[in-house]
Structure 1
Amino acid sequence: MVLFSLNQPISMICLVSIMAGRRALKAVLIDLSGTLHIEDTAVPGAQDALNRLRQASVDVKFVTNTTKESKRSLVERLQRLDFHVQEKEIFTSLSAARSLVERKQLRPLLLLEDSALEDFTGVMVLEGAPLIAIHKARYYKRADGLALGPGPFVAGLEFAADCRATVVGKPEKCFFTQALSDLGCSPTEAVMIGDDARDDVGGAQNAGMLGILVRTGKYREGDEDKIKPLPHLTCDSFPEAVAHILKNLL
Protein backbone atom coordinates (compact mmCIF):
# COMPACT_ATOMS: atom_id res chain seq x y z
CA MET A 1 0.00 0.00 0.00
CA VAL A 2 1.21 3.49 -0.84
CA LEU A 3 0.05 6.54 1.07
CA PHE A 4 0.40 9.45 -1.33
CA SER A 5 0.64 13.10 -0.33
CA LEU A 6 2.00 16.14 -2.17
CA ASN A 7 1.52 19.85 -1.67
CA GLN A 8 3.32 22.55 -3.58
CA PRO A 9 4.20 25.76 -1.52
CA ILE A 10 -2.85 28.81 -4.57
CA SER A 11 -19.11 43.45 2.77
CA MET A 12 -21.03 42.31 5.16
CA ILE A 13 -23.78 40.85 2.98
CA CYS A 14 -24.47 37.17 3.72
CA LEU A 15 -26.43 34.86 1.45
CA VAL A 16 -28.53 32.48 3.51
CA SER A 17 -30.35 29.46 2.07
CA ILE A 18 -33.65 28.43 3.58
CA MET A 19 -33.39 25.56 6.04
CA ALA A 20 -36.22 23.29 7.08
CA GLY A 21 -36.70 23.53 10.83
CA ARG A 22 -34.40 24.61 13.63
CA ARG A 23 -31.53 22.30 14.63
CA ALA A 24 -30.11 21.81 18.10
CA LEU A 25 -26.48 22.64 17.38
CA LYS A 26 -23.92 20.73 19.44
CA ALA A 27 -20.66 21.00 17.47
CA VAL A 28 -18.82 23.30 15.07
CA LEU A 29 -16.14 21.87 12.78
CA ILE A 30 -13.66 24.48 11.56
CA ASP A 31 -11.23 24.29 8.66
CA LEU A 32 -7.78 25.73 9.32
CA SER A 33 -5.80 26.94 6.29
CA GLY A 34 -7.78 29.56 4.40
CA THR A 35 -10.40 29.84 7.12
CA LEU A 36 -8.55 30.74 10.33
CA HIS A 37 -5.22 31.61 8.74
CA ILE A 38 -3.23 31.75 5.51
CA GLU A 39 0.23 30.35 6.20
CA ASP A 40 1.56 32.49 9.09
CA THR A 41 -1.08 35.23 8.97
CA ALA A 42 -4.37 34.96 10.84
CA VAL A 43 -7.65 36.01 9.25
CA PRO A 44 -8.49 39.39 10.86
CA GLY A 45 -10.64 38.94 13.96
CA ALA A 46 -10.48 35.13 13.86
CA GLN A 47 -8.94 34.74 17.33
CA ASP A 48 -11.64 36.81 19.05
CA ALA A 49 -14.38 35.05 17.06
CA LEU A 50 -13.05 31.65 18.13
CA ASN A 51 -13.00 32.77 21.76
CA ARG A 52 -16.64 33.87 21.51
CA LEU A 53 -17.60 30.54 19.98
CA ARG A 54 -15.85 28.63 22.78
CA GLN A 55 -17.97 30.50 25.33
CA ALA A 56 -21.15 29.13 23.74
CA SER A 57 -22.64 25.73 24.54
CA VAL A 58 -21.04 23.92 21.60
CA ASP A 59 -18.03 21.70 21.06
CA VAL A 60 -15.33 22.92 18.69
CA LYS A 61 -13.12 20.73 16.50
CA PHE A 62 -10.58 21.73 13.88
CA VAL A 63 -10.59 19.61 10.73
CA THR A 64 -8.04 19.93 7.98
CA ASN A 65 -6.79 18.18 4.87
CA THR A 66 -3.18 18.88 5.79
CA THR A 67 -0.59 16.58 4.28
CA LYS A 68 2.52 18.46 5.33
CA GLU A 69 2.24 18.95 9.08
CA SER A 70 1.75 16.70 12.08
CA LYS A 71 -0.87 17.68 14.65
CA ARG A 72 1.91 18.87 16.94
CA SER A 73 3.25 21.19 14.22
CA LEU A 74 -0.24 22.52 13.54
CA VAL A 75 -0.78 23.30 17.21
CA GLU A 76 2.53 25.15 17.38
CA ARG A 77 1.67 27.20 14.28
CA LEU A 78 -1.78 28.11 15.60
CA GLN A 79 -0.49 29.01 19.04
CA ARG A 80 2.08 31.34 17.47
CA LEU A 81 -0.91 33.09 15.87
CA ASP A 82 -2.62 33.40 19.29
CA PHE A 83 -5.21 30.68 18.69
CA HIS A 84 -5.75 28.68 21.87
CA VAL A 85 -5.88 25.16 20.44
CA GLN A 86 -5.06 21.76 21.91
CA GLU A 87 -3.81 18.78 19.92
CA LYS A 88 -6.81 16.65 20.94
CA GLU A 89 -9.10 19.20 19.23
CA ILE A 90 -7.53 18.62 15.80
CA PHE A 91 -8.62 15.93 13.34
CA THR A 92 -6.66 15.73 10.10
CA SER A 93 -6.65 13.72 6.90
CA LEU A 94 -3.48 12.12 8.29
CA SER A 95 -5.51 11.02 11.33
CA ALA A 96 -8.09 9.45 9.02
CA ALA A 97 -5.37 7.72 7.00
CA ARG A 98 -3.72 6.26 10.09
CA SER A 99 -7.12 5.04 11.34
CA LEU A 100 -7.67 3.22 8.03
CA VAL A 101 -4.18 1.68 8.11
CA GLU A 102 -4.67 0.40 11.65
CA ARG A 103 -8.21 -0.81 11.05
CA LYS A 104 -7.16 -2.88 8.02
CA GLN A 105 -3.84 -3.89 9.62
CA LEU A 106 -1.88 -2.63 6.63
CA ARG A 107 1.85 -1.96 6.38
CA PRO A 108 2.23 1.21 4.32
CA LEU A 109 5.03 2.66 2.28
CA LEU A 110 4.67 6.26 3.44
CA LEU A 111 5.20 8.91 0.77
CA LEU A 112 4.78 11.91 3.05
CA GLU A 113 6.48 15.14 3.97
CA ASP A 114 9.03 14.55 6.74
CA SER A 115 7.06 16.94 8.99
CA ALA A 116 3.98 14.68 8.71
CA LEU A 117 5.68 11.34 9.40
CA GLU A 118 5.45 11.58 13.18
CA ASP A 119 1.68 11.09 13.00
CA PHE A 120 2.46 7.57 11.70
CA THR A 121 4.93 6.60 14.42
CA GLY A 122 4.80 2.85 14.97
CA VAL A 123 3.29 2.04 11.57
CA MET A 124 5.58 -0.36 9.68
CA VAL A 125 6.55 -0.27 6.02
CA LEU A 126 5.95 -2.86 3.29
CA GLU A 127 6.04 -2.23 -0.46
CA GLY A 128 3.02 -2.88 -2.65
CA ALA A 129 -0.81 -3.14 -2.56
CA PRO A 130 -3.50 -0.42 -2.86
CA LEU A 131 -3.10 3.32 -3.21
CA ILE A 132 -4.47 5.49 -0.40
CA ALA A 133 -4.66 9.25 -0.95
CA ILE A 134 -4.68 11.55 2.06
CA HIS A 135 -7.01 13.77 0.05
CA LYS A 136 -7.56 15.01 -3.52
CA ALA A 137 -7.84 18.77 -3.09
CA ARG A 138 -7.26 20.60 -6.36
CA TYR A 139 -5.55 23.71 -4.97
CA TYR A 140 -5.10 25.74 -1.81
CA LYS A 141 -4.21 29.31 -0.83
CA ARG A 142 -0.70 30.44 0.06
CA ALA A 143 0.53 33.92 0.85
CA ASP A 144 1.72 34.29 -2.77
CA GLY A 145 -1.45 32.94 -4.42
CA LEU A 146 -3.08 29.62 -5.30
CA ALA A 147 -0.97 26.45 -5.46
CA LEU A 148 -1.72 22.92 -6.61
CA GLY A 149 -2.84 20.42 -4.01
CA PRO A 150 -2.41 16.63 -4.17
CA GLY A 151 -5.50 16.00 -6.34
CA PRO A 152 -3.85 16.39 -9.77
CA PHE A 153 -0.94 14.17 -8.73
CA VAL A 154 -3.18 11.48 -7.25
CA ALA A 155 -5.14 11.49 -10.53
CA GLY A 156 -1.87 11.03 -12.41
CA LEU A 157 -0.91 8.05 -10.25
CA GLU A 158 -4.37 6.54 -10.69
CA PHE A 159 -4.03 6.85 -14.47
CA ALA A 160 -0.48 5.45 -14.55
CA ALA A 161 -1.25 2.54 -12.23
CA ASP A 162 -4.72 1.87 -13.68
CA CYS A 163 -6.31 1.91 -10.24
CA ARG A 164 -8.56 4.00 -8.05
CA ALA A 165 -7.16 5.53 -4.87
CA THR A 166 -8.98 5.21 -1.57
CA VAL A 167 -9.43 8.82 -0.40
CA VAL A 168 -9.66 9.45 3.35
CA GLY A 169 -9.79 13.26 3.74
CA LYS A 170 -12.46 15.83 2.97
CA PRO A 171 -14.94 15.67 1.21
CA GLU A 172 -15.39 11.98 2.12
CA LYS A 173 -18.39 11.33 4.37
CA CYS A 174 -16.36 9.05 6.65
CA PHE A 175 -13.94 11.90 7.39
CA PHE A 176 -16.69 14.04 8.88
CA THR A 177 -18.31 11.20 10.82
CA GLN A 178 -14.93 10.24 12.30
CA ALA A 179 -14.28 13.85 13.29
CA LEU A 180 -17.62 13.92 15.13
CA SER A 181 -17.32 10.45 16.66
CA ASP A 182 -15.77 11.54 19.97
CA LEU A 183 -18.01 14.59 20.39
CA GLY A 184 -21.16 12.59 21.03
CA CYS A 185 -23.24 14.25 18.33
CA SER A 186 -24.64 13.33 14.95
CA PRO A 187 -24.01 15.20 11.68
CA THR A 188 -27.47 16.78 11.94
CA GLU A 189 -26.31 18.48 15.15
CA ALA A 190 -23.17 19.99 13.63
CA VAL A 191 -22.05 22.76 11.27
CA MET A 192 -18.87 23.05 9.19
CA ILE A 193 -17.06 26.32 8.40
CA GLY A 194 -14.55 26.36 5.53
CA ASP A 195 -13.20 28.13 2.46
CA ASP A 196 -13.55 25.18 0.04
CA ALA A 197 -17.04 24.86 -1.43
CA ARG A 198 -16.58 21.27 -2.58
CA ASP A 199 -14.39 19.70 0.10
CA ASP A 200 -15.46 21.62 3.22
CA VAL A 201 -19.05 22.65 2.61
CA GLY A 202 -20.22 20.14 0.02
CA GLY A 203 -18.63 17.23 1.86
CA ALA A 204 -20.12 18.29 5.19
CA GLN A 205 -23.59 18.78 3.75
CA ASN A 206 -23.46 15.42 2.00
CA ALA A 207 -22.69 13.93 5.41
CA GLY A 208 -25.81 15.57 6.87
CA MET A 209 -24.28 18.71 8.40
CA LEU A 210 -24.89 22.39 7.70
CA GLY A 211 -22.12 24.07 5.72
CA ILE A 212 -20.91 27.66 5.93
CA LEU A 213 -18.63 28.92 3.16
CA VAL A 214 -16.27 31.85 3.82
CA ARG A 215 -14.86 34.16 1.14
CA THR A 216 -11.27 33.85 2.33
CA GLY A 217 -8.44 31.47 1.41
CA LYS A 218 -9.09 29.55 -1.80
CA TYR A 219 -12.62 30.92 -2.29
CA ARG A 220 -13.29 32.13 -5.85
CA GLU A 221 -16.29 34.19 -6.94
CA GLY A 222 -19.27 31.95 -7.64
CA ASP A 223 -17.95 28.89 -5.76
CA GLU A 224 -21.17 28.75 -3.73
CA ASP A 225 -23.13 27.99 -6.91
CA LYS A 226 -20.96 24.98 -7.80
CA ILE A 227 -22.38 22.62 -5.18
CA LYS A 228 -25.84 21.20 -4.52
CA PRO A 229 -27.42 21.82 -2.14
CA LEU A 230 -26.18 25.38 -1.88
CA PRO A 231 -24.31 26.33 1.30
CA HIS A 232 -26.48 27.10 4.29
CA LEU A 233 -24.57 30.38 4.41
CA THR A 234 -21.92 32.21 2.38
CA CYS A 235 -20.24 35.12 4.14
CA ASP A 236 -17.07 37.15 4.07
CA SER A 237 -15.05 35.60 6.87
CA PHE A 238 -14.84 33.30 9.88
CA PRO A 239 -15.90 36.06 12.34
CA GLU A 240 -19.10 36.61 10.32
CA ALA A 241 -19.77 32.88 10.28
CA VAL A 242 -19.41 32.75 14.06
CA ALA A 243 -21.70 35.76 14.49
CA HIS A 244 -24.36 33.97 12.43
CA ILE A 245 -24.04 30.78 14.47
CA LEU A 246 -24.30 32.60 17.79
CA LYS A 247 -27.32 34.61 16.66
CA ASN A 248 -29.27 32.05 14.64
CA LEU A 249 -28.22 28.48 15.40
CA LEU A 250 -27.95 28.36 19.20
Structure 2
Amino acid sequence: MNFNQIQALIADMDGVVWRGDTPLPGLNKLFNFLAAHNIPFTLATNNASKTVAQYQKKFARFGVEVQPENVMTSSIATAMYLKDTIEPGSNVYVVGEDGLTDAVRQAGFNVLDDAGQPAAAVAAGIDFTFTYEKLKYATLLIRRGAHFVGSNGDLTFPSEEGLYPGAGSILAAIEAATDTKPTVIGKPEPLMFNVAVRRMNSTPAHTVMIGDRLETDILGAQRAGMKTVLVTTGIDNQDSIASKGIQPDIILSGIDELVDVWQSQLDAK
Protein backbone atom coordinates (compact mmCIF):
# COMPACT_ATOMS: atom_id res chain seq x y z
CA MET A 1 0.00 0.00 0.00
CA ASN A 2 1.31 3.43 -0.99
CA PHE A 3 0.81 5.87 1.90
CA ASN A 4 2.29 8.67 -0.20
CA GLN A 5 -1.07 8.85 -2.00
CA ILE A 6 -3.01 9.29 1.24
CA GLN A 7 -4.25 12.80 2.06
CA ALA A 8 -6.75 12.08 4.87
CA LEU A 9 -7.43 9.47 7.53
CA ILE A 10 -10.52 7.96 9.13
CA ALA A 11 -10.05 5.81 12.23
CA ASP A 12 -12.38 3.79 14.39
CA MET A 13 -11.91 4.37 18.11
CA ASP A 14 -12.50 1.34 20.34
CA GLY A 15 -10.01 -1.36 19.41
CA VAL A 16 -7.92 1.08 17.36
CA VAL A 17 -6.87 4.08 19.49
CA TRP A 18 -8.09 2.69 22.81
CA ARG A 19 -9.59 -0.41 24.34
CA GLY A 20 -12.31 0.55 26.80
CA ASP A 21 -10.66 3.14 29.05
CA THR A 22 -7.09 2.17 28.18
CA PRO A 23 -5.15 4.00 25.43
CA LEU A 24 -3.46 1.68 22.95
CA PRO A 25 0.26 1.96 22.12
CA GLY A 26 0.94 4.74 19.63
CA LEU A 27 -2.09 6.92 20.40
CA ASN A 28 -0.14 10.14 21.03
CA LYS A 29 2.39 9.18 18.38
CA LEU A 30 -0.37 8.94 15.76
CA PHE A 31 -1.88 12.35 16.52
CA ASN A 32 1.52 14.01 16.65
CA PHE A 33 2.29 12.50 13.24
CA LEU A 34 -0.99 13.71 11.73
CA ALA A 35 -0.42 17.23 13.10
CA ALA A 36 3.19 17.34 11.87
CA HIS A 37 2.13 16.44 8.33
CA ASN A 38 -1.14 18.45 8.28
CA ILE A 39 -3.17 15.33 7.56
CA PRO A 40 -6.89 15.86 8.27
CA PHE A 41 -8.52 13.08 10.26
CA THR A 42 -11.91 11.85 11.38
CA LEU A 43 -12.57 9.56 14.34
CA ALA A 44 -15.58 7.51 13.30
CA THR A 45 -17.74 5.27 15.44
CA ASN A 46 -21.05 3.47 15.16
CA ASN A 47 -21.71 4.34 18.80
CA ALA A 48 -24.74 6.62 18.69
CA SER A 49 -25.18 6.98 22.45
CA LYS A 50 -22.36 9.42 23.27
CA THR A 51 -22.03 13.10 22.36
CA VAL A 52 -19.03 14.71 20.67
CA ALA A 53 -18.20 16.52 23.93
CA GLN A 54 -17.97 13.18 25.74
CA TYR A 55 -15.46 11.90 23.18
CA GLN A 56 -13.45 15.13 23.41
CA LYS A 57 -13.28 14.71 27.18
CA LYS A 58 -12.06 11.12 26.85
CA PHE A 59 -9.32 12.08 24.39
CA ALA A 60 -8.27 14.94 26.68
CA ARG A 61 -7.71 12.40 29.47
CA PHE A 62 -5.19 10.72 27.18
CA GLY A 63 -3.46 14.00 26.36
CA VAL A 64 -4.98 14.46 22.89
CA GLU A 65 -6.98 17.52 21.84
CA VAL A 66 -9.57 16.89 19.15
CA GLN A 67 -12.00 19.38 17.63
CA PRO A 68 -15.72 18.69 17.15
CA GLU A 69 -15.17 18.38 13.39
CA ASN A 70 -12.71 15.53 14.04
CA VAL A 71 -15.42 13.30 15.53
CA MET A 72 -17.99 11.49 13.41
CA THR A 73 -20.50 9.35 15.28
CA SER A 74 -23.31 7.54 13.52
CA SER A 75 -25.60 10.06 15.26
CA ILE A 76 -23.87 13.01 13.59
CA ALA A 77 -23.90 11.26 10.23
CA THR A 78 -27.61 10.52 10.69
CA ALA A 79 -28.36 14.18 11.43
CA MET A 80 -26.33 15.29 8.40
CA TYR A 81 -28.21 12.80 6.23
CA LEU A 82 -31.52 14.18 7.49
CA LYS A 83 -30.39 17.72 6.61
CA ASP A 84 -29.91 16.52 3.03
CA THR A 85 -33.25 14.70 2.80
CA ILE A 86 -35.97 16.50 4.77
CA GLU A 87 -37.01 20.13 5.20
CA PRO A 88 -35.11 22.31 7.71
CA GLY A 89 -36.87 22.56 11.07
CA SER A 90 -38.99 19.46 10.45
CA ASN A 91 -40.34 17.29 13.25
CA VAL A 92 -38.24 14.19 13.99
CA TYR A 93 -39.10 11.44 16.45
CA VAL A 94 -35.96 9.95 18.02
CA VAL A 95 -35.58 6.48 19.48
CA GLY A 96 -32.16 6.72 21.06
CA GLU A 97 -29.78 8.13 23.64
CA ASP A 98 -28.53 11.70 24.13
CA GLY A 99 -25.94 11.33 21.36
CA LEU A 100 -28.63 10.90 18.71
CA THR A 101 -31.14 13.31 20.23
CA ASP A 102 -28.55 16.09 20.59
CA ALA A 103 -27.23 15.60 17.04
CA VAL A 104 -30.72 15.79 15.54
CA ARG A 105 -31.61 18.86 17.59
CA GLN A 106 -28.33 20.64 16.80
CA ALA A 107 -28.99 20.02 13.11
CA GLY A 108 -32.01 22.30 13.46
CA PHE A 109 -34.83 19.79 13.78
CA ASN A 110 -37.67 19.74 16.30
CA VAL A 111 -37.48 16.56 18.38
CA LEU A 112 -40.92 15.16 19.21
CA ASP A 113 -41.85 13.48 22.49
CA ASP A 114 -44.65 11.35 21.05
CA ALA A 115 -46.74 10.68 17.95
CA GLY A 116 -49.18 13.51 18.59
CA GLN A 117 -47.79 15.56 15.70
CA PRO A 118 -46.74 14.50 12.19
CA ALA A 119 -43.03 13.74 11.75
CA ALA A 120 -40.88 13.97 8.64
CA ALA A 121 -38.60 11.24 9.99
CA VAL A 122 -38.06 8.68 12.72
CA ALA A 123 -34.38 8.40 13.67
CA ALA A 124 -33.54 5.28 15.66
CA GLY A 125 -30.38 3.99 17.32
CA ILE A 126 -29.31 2.28 20.51
CA ASP A 127 -31.78 3.07 23.29
CA PHE A 128 -31.11 1.69 26.77
CA THR A 129 -34.66 2.56 27.88
CA PHE A 130 -36.45 1.23 24.79
CA THR A 131 -40.11 0.55 25.58
CA TYR A 132 -43.29 -0.66 23.92
CA GLU A 133 -44.51 2.95 23.96
CA LYS A 134 -41.49 4.14 21.95
CA LEU A 135 -42.01 1.27 19.50
CA LYS A 136 -45.68 2.25 19.23
CA TYR A 137 -44.92 5.92 18.48
CA ALA A 138 -42.27 5.02 15.91
CA THR A 139 -44.65 2.56 14.24
CA LEU A 140 -47.51 5.06 14.02
CA LEU A 141 -45.32 7.81 12.56
CA ILE A 142 -43.60 5.60 9.98
CA ARG A 143 -46.94 4.13 8.88
CA ARG A 144 -48.15 7.71 8.42
CA GLY A 145 -45.26 8.42 6.06
CA ALA A 146 -42.26 9.40 8.20
CA HIS A 147 -38.87 8.48 6.73
CA PHE A 148 -37.28 5.65 8.78
CA VAL A 149 -33.56 6.20 9.41
CA GLY A 150 -31.25 4.05 11.54
CA SER A 151 -27.95 5.17 13.06
CA ASN A 152 -26.33 1.77 12.54
CA GLY A 153 -27.25 -1.86 12.02
CA ASP A 154 -25.13 -3.55 14.71
CA LEU A 155 -27.36 -6.29 16.12
CA THR A 156 -25.21 -6.74 19.22
CA PHE A 157 -22.24 -5.21 21.01
CA PRO A 158 -19.82 -6.78 23.51
CA SER A 159 -19.98 -6.19 27.26
CA GLU A 160 -18.37 -7.77 30.30
CA GLU A 161 -21.47 -9.96 30.71
CA GLY A 162 -21.56 -11.02 27.07
CA LEU A 163 -23.32 -9.69 23.99
CA TYR A 164 -25.97 -7.01 24.53
CA PRO A 165 -28.65 -6.14 21.92
CA GLY A 166 -27.47 -3.27 19.74
CA ALA A 167 -29.12 -0.61 17.59
CA GLY A 168 -29.81 -3.16 14.87
CA SER A 169 -32.05 -5.12 17.23
CA ILE A 170 -34.16 -2.01 17.83
CA LEU A 171 -34.29 -1.28 14.09
CA ALA A 172 -35.43 -4.87 13.51
CA ALA A 173 -38.32 -4.44 15.96
CA ILE A 174 -39.47 -1.24 14.27
CA GLU A 175 -39.06 -2.80 10.82
CA ALA A 176 -41.18 -5.79 11.87
CA ALA A 177 -43.94 -3.49 13.12
CA THR A 178 -43.94 -1.21 10.08
CA ASP A 179 -43.00 -3.44 7.13
CA THR A 180 -40.48 -0.71 6.32
CA LYS A 181 -36.73 -1.12 5.95
CA PRO A 182 -34.67 1.71 7.44
CA THR A 183 -32.05 3.73 5.65
CA VAL A 184 -29.01 2.70 7.71
CA ILE A 185 -26.28 5.32 8.05
CA GLY A 186 -23.43 3.78 10.05
CA LYS A 187 -20.71 1.31 9.10
CA PRO A 188 -20.61 -0.79 6.94
CA GLU A 189 -22.91 1.40 4.84
CA PRO A 190 -20.90 3.90 2.75
CA LEU A 191 -22.98 6.94 3.78
CA MET A 192 -21.02 7.67 6.95
CA PHE A 193 -17.68 7.35 5.16
CA ASN A 194 -18.87 9.64 2.37
CA VAL A 195 -19.91 12.31 4.88
CA ALA A 196 -16.52 12.12 6.63
CA VAL A 197 -14.57 12.34 3.35
CA ARG A 198 -16.62 15.34 2.27
CA ARG A 199 -16.01 17.14 5.58
CA MET A 200 -12.23 16.68 5.14
CA ASN A 201 -12.29 17.98 1.54
CA SER A 202 -10.71 14.72 0.42
CA THR A 203 -11.67 11.97 -2.02
CA PRO A 204 -12.22 8.27 -1.24
CA ALA A 205 -9.20 7.24 -3.32
CA HIS A 206 -6.93 9.47 -1.22
CA THR A 207 -8.40 8.52 2.17
CA VAL A 208 -7.43 5.56 4.36
CA MET A 209 -9.61 3.82 6.94
CA ILE A 210 -7.97 2.33 10.04
CA GLY A 211 -10.19 -0.24 11.73
CA ASP A 212 -10.29 -3.41 13.78
CA ARG A 213 -13.51 -4.96 12.42
CA LEU A 214 -13.56 -6.45 8.95
CA GLU A 215 -17.33 -6.50 8.46
CA THR A 216 -17.88 -2.86 9.51
CA ASP A 217 -14.73 -0.72 9.30
CA ILE A 218 -13.01 -2.45 6.40
CA LEU A 219 -16.04 -3.50 4.34
CA GLY A 220 -17.69 -0.09 4.71
CA ALA A 221 -14.56 1.75 3.63
CA GLN A 222 -14.14 -0.55 0.65
CA ARG A 223 -17.74 0.11 -0.39
CA ALA A 224 -16.93 3.83 -0.27
CA GLY A 225 -13.83 3.34 -2.46
CA MET A 226 -11.21 3.93 0.24
CA LYS A 227 -7.91 2.26 1.12
CA THR A 228 -8.03 0.12 4.27
CA VAL A 229 -5.76 -0.88 7.14
CA LEU A 230 -6.74 -3.61 9.60
CA VAL A 231 -5.07 -3.29 13.01
CA THR A 232 -5.07 -6.39 15.20
CA THR A 233 -5.54 -4.58 18.52
CA GLY A 234 -9.31 -5.13 18.50
CA ILE A 235 -11.71 -7.72 17.12
CA ASP A 236 -10.21 -9.21 13.95
CA ASN A 237 -6.81 -10.57 12.90
CA GLN A 238 -5.16 -12.48 10.06
CA ASP A 239 -7.21 -15.60 10.83
CA SER A 240 -10.48 -13.66 10.46
CA ILE A 241 -9.84 -12.83 6.82
CA ALA A 242 -10.34 -16.35 5.50
CA SER A 243 -13.55 -16.92 7.47
CA LYS A 244 -15.10 -13.53 6.65
CA GLY A 245 -13.81 -13.17 3.10
CA ILE A 246 -12.87 -9.49 3.50
CA GLN A 247 -9.32 -8.51 2.54
CA PRO A 248 -7.85 -5.17 3.73
CA ASP A 249 -5.07 -3.48 1.78
CA ILE A 250 -2.65 -4.06 4.65
CA ILE A 251 -2.65 -5.67 8.12
CA LEU A 252 -0.65 -4.03 10.93
CA SER A 253 -0.17 -4.79 14.61
CA GLY A 254 -1.56 -1.41 15.66
CA ILE A 255 -1.40 2.35 15.20
CA ASP A 256 2.17 2.40 16.52
CA GLU A 257 3.31 0.32 13.54
CA LEU A 258 1.04 2.32 11.23
CA VAL A 259 2.96 5.52 11.98
CA ASP A 260 6.30 3.76 11.48
CA VAL A 261 5.28 2.35 8.08
CA TRP A 262 3.74 5.63 6.92
CA GLN A 263 6.75 7.70 8.03
CA SER A 264 9.22 5.31 6.38
CA GLN A 265 7.41 5.68 3.05
CA LEU A 266 7.43 9.47 3.37
CA ASP A 267 11.16 9.40 4.15
CA ALA A 268 11.82 7.23 1.09
CA LYS A 269 10.17 9.66 -1.35
TM-score range, shorter chain: 0.7 to 0.9
Mapped partners of 1:144, 1:54: distance in 2: 39
Partner of 2:168: 151
Whether 1:51 aligns to 2:51 is no
Counterparts of 2:163 and 2:239, CA distance in 1: 17
Trace 1:47-196 onto structure 2 (pairs within 5 A). 47-103=28-84, 104-105=86-87, 106-121=90-105, 122-124=108-110, 125=112, 126=119, 128=141, 129-142=146-159, 147-196=164-213
Alignment coverage as a number of residue pairs: 230
Aligned residue identity for 2:22: T
AA in 1 matched with 2:75: L
C-alpha displacement of 1:160: 3.6
**Which AA in structure 1 matches 2:101?**
L
* In 1, Cα distance between equivalents of 2:18 and 2:73: 16
Matched residues in 1 for 2:34 and 2:160: separation?
A: 27
TM-score by length of 1: 0.81
Cα shift readout 1:207-248 (whole Å, capped 9, x = no counterpart):
1111111112333663333244x1011222222223223333
Report % sequence identity.
26
Gaps of 5+ in 1: 1-18
Q: Tell me the secondary structure at the aligned position of residue 80 of structure 2.
A: helix
Tell me the TM-score normalized by structure 2. Answer: 0.76
CA distance in 1, matches of 2:81, 2:30: 34
Letter aligned with residue 184 of structure 1: N
For the aligned residues, what is the CA RMSD?
2.5
The 3 A distance-change label for structure 1 pair 142 and 218 is farther
C-alpha distance 22-46 of structure 1, shift in aligned 2 (>3 A): closer
- Distance apart, 1:97 and its partner CA: 0.9
The verdict on how the C-alpha distance between 1:216 and 1:112 changes in structure 2, with shifts beyond 3 A counting, is same
Q: Which runs of 5+ in 2 are unaligned?
A: 113-118, 120-136
Work out whether residues 215 and 234 of structure 1, in 8 Å CA contact, stay in contact via their aligned partners in 2.
yes
Distance 1:139 1:41, change over 3 A: farther
Contact kept, 8 Å, 1:171 with 1:199, in 2: the verdict is: yes
Match of 1:29 in 2: 10
Per the alignment, do residues 236 and 156 of structure 1 end up closer, same or farther by CA in structure 2, a change over 3 Å counting? Answer: farther
Report the Cα distance in structure 1 between the residues aligned to 2:253 and 2:259, rounded to whole angstroms. 11
Greater CA radius of gyration, 1 or 2? 2
Q: Given the superposition, is the C-alpha separation of residues 153 and 111 from structure 1 closer, same or farther in structure 2, using an over 3 Å criterion?
A: closer
| Aligned-partner Cα distance in 2 for 1:148–1:239 | 32
Q: Does residue 232 in structure 1 map to residue 218 in structure 2?
A: no
**CA 1:179–1:137 in 2, change beyond 3 Å: closer, same or farther?**
same
From the superposition, tell whether residues 247 and 224 of structure 1 become closer, same or farther in structure 2 (CA, over 3 Å). Answer: farther
Residue 184 of structure 1: how far off its partner (Å):
2.0
> What is the rounded CA distance, in whole Å, between the counterparts of 2:245 and 2:149 in structure 1?
25
Structure 2 match to 1:5 = none
For residues 161 and 13 of structure 2, the distance between their equivalents in structure 1, rounded to whole angstroms, comes to 18
